[in-house]
A = this chain, B = another copy of it.
Amino acid sequence: MSTELRIIPITGIGEIDPDADLGTLIYEALQQQQLTLQTGDVLVVTQKIISKAEGRLVNLDDVEPSEFAKTFAERYEKDARHVEVVLRETKRIARMDRGIIISETYHGFICANAGVDESNVEGGQFLTLLPVDSDVSASTIRSRLQQLNDEERPIEIAVIVSDTWGRAWRNGQVNMAIGVAGMEAMVDYRGQRDAYGYELRASMIAVADELSAAAELVMGKVDQVPVALIRGYHYSPAAGTVHTLTRDSATDMFR
């Protein structure tokens, strides 16, 4: 049975230092909003604050660009050091055209510039890289929240790390999951039947991506809302991993 969903912006988390304890910061922010975690809650956390807390920052002054990076950067009026960092985070280039690099990252994600970002980091001479393993980042935050929640048994919650990415064929970006802990990232309806008894064809739903997209709607881009609490969604508890959602290259027709 489907019930109403609430998506609550979590504010007041403030600036994130390297080695910040994000679980504790999120817990304190929830308390400030008079929110108590409940079984079934999903927290969506943006990649930016995780990359900062995990020190996934590169100072552009420390980067020596390769000739390849220099040539590409010059042709498209980009910063060669930035291009160099993108290349270092890239396992394989899926497309490289019109100044755009679509990377396959070492995580197995396909995204623009290997997820390297320049906005929103103090000083402006720094780039943020994606977390090394966002499943671990999500799991760490989840464990800390369970610990701080101070129940007799750990509360059943899920944590998703999200980033804002473009898509093939569609303009604009949406939030997608890059790390998952505490829930199945995918819901599998295969074998289930609709109201007429027919087996469902559209049957594997990437719910972690949908939860990430839903969370973005309360985050905005300039509002400093790095976390959203989703309440009322009935997920399947599991260890969880985003790699349920990363398509294997053997079955990918667009790589």
In the complex, A172→B209 CA distance in Å?
Answer: 9
Are A195 and B120 closer than 8 Å at their CB atoms? Answer: yes
Are B202 and A173 closer than 8 Å at their CB atoms? Answer: yes
Question: Assembly of this chain: how many copies?
Answer: 2
Number of A interface residues in the complex (CB < 8 A) = 78
Are B195 and A224 closer than 8 Å at their CB atoms? Answer: yes
Q: Does A91 touch B at the CB level, under 8 Å?
A: no
Give the Cβ gap from A246 to chain B, nearest Cβ, in Å: 7
Give the Cβ gap from A211 to chain B, nearest Cβ, in Å: 7
Q: Does A219 touch B at the CB level, under 8 Å?
A: yes
Mark A1-35 against chain B: 1 for CB-CB distance below 8 A, else 0: 11111111101000000000000000000000000
In the complex, A86→B203 CA distance in Å?
Answer: 19
Are A168 and B167 closer than 8 Å at their CB atoms? Answer: yes
B residues in contact with A7, CB < 8 Å: 4-7, 214
Q: Does A75 touch B at the CB level, under 8 Å?
A: no
Complex interface residues of chain A between 130 and 152 (CB less than 8 A to chain B): none
Are A1 and B223 closer than 8 Å at their CB atoms? Answer: yes
Are A5 and B218 closer than 8 Å at their CB atoms? Answer: yes
Mark A200-232 against chain B: 1 for CB-CB distance below 8 A, else 0: 111111110111011011111111110000000
Q: Does A121 touch B at the CB level, under 8 Å?
A: yes
Measured CB to CB, the residues of A under 8 A from B are 1-9, 11, 95, 97-98, 100, 102, 109-110, 117-122, 124, 164, 167-176, 185-186, 189, 192-196, 198-207, 209-211, 213-214, 216-225, 233, 244-247, 251-255
**In the A-B complex, the 3 residue pairs with the closest CB atoms:** A172-B206, A214-B214, A213-B213
